Amino acid sequence: MTTPDGEPESFRNRPRRRGAALEEAIIDAVTAELAEVGYAGMTMESVARRAGTGKVSIYRRWPSRLALAIEAAYRLIELPEPPPEPSSLRADLMAWLTAIARQMAGPAGEAFRGIVAESLTQAGQGRLADVTRGTGSEQFRQILDRARRRSEPVRDDLAPLLGQVPSSLLQHRFLVHHEVDQDYIEQLVDDVVIPLITRPHPPTLA
């Protein structure tokens, strides 16, 4: 395998990246692979090749392919800002769920799909419960609080389970249908979430 001349067949004679720089290059490669071929198509070798490094440097930092995807997911996910304050319960809910759906359409969604698949495959227990927790209830509660402050008719005695309903249904839709369209979000908000959390208008219903 002695290359007489031509293309740069080796990275050995090159300024060598270390530490944070290399780490970032690896995560960038993971993100690109997730976007292009998805978690299923992403192999440790393809990530290493793309990052211009070797598998060993990856395994020195993360113990498995799954851990790599989780790390990428954490870095990719950014919690959306709630809309500026002249807003409404419905607008807040739509913005929140739409932002999640948009993230799911990109590499973060591929990572999520892979994490779920792996958590189902491996006998390894519900690391999935950890990953998904938090994303769901916290932001939802904030939206409800904001609506209460605006004196919108949000119930005060909400059952704990309700906090998980929106994100659970969104996730389920994503997993089963591979994507979440705007129509679904609208129905979810108008036909499920709002009816569940608002007090019935006292006189307005015929």
Binding site for a second copy (CB under 8 A): 38-41, 113-114, 116-118, 120-123, 125-126, 128-129, 132, 159-162, 165, 168-169, 171-173, 175-178, 184, 187-188, 190-192, 195-196, 200, 205
Report, in Å, the least distance between residue 132 CB and DNA: 22
How far, in Å, CA of 33 to CA of 27, rounded?
10
Contact characters 3-42, DNA, x per CB under 7 A: ------xxxxxxxxxxx--x------------------xx
Q: What are phi and psi of 198, to 5 degrees?
A: -100, 150
| Binds DNA (CB under 7 A): choice among 7, 56, 160, 202 | 56
Place of tokens 């892979």: 114
Q: How does 143-167 read in b/e, with b if 16+ C-beta sit within 10 Å?
A: bbebbeeeebebeeeeeeeebebbb
Q: And the tokens for 57?
A: 């440097």
Of 137, 139, 127, 133, the residue nearest 69 (C-alpha): 127
| Binds DNA (CB under 7 A): choice among 36, 45, 130, 181 | 45
With respect to a second copy, which residue has the nearer C-beta, 13 or 121? Answer: 121
On the CB side of 3, CA atoms within 13 Å amount to 6
With respect to a second copy, which residue has the nearer C-beta, 51 or 109? Answer: 109
Q: Does 52 bind DNA (CB under 7 A)?
A: yes
Q: How many residues bind DNA (CB under 7 A)?
A: 30
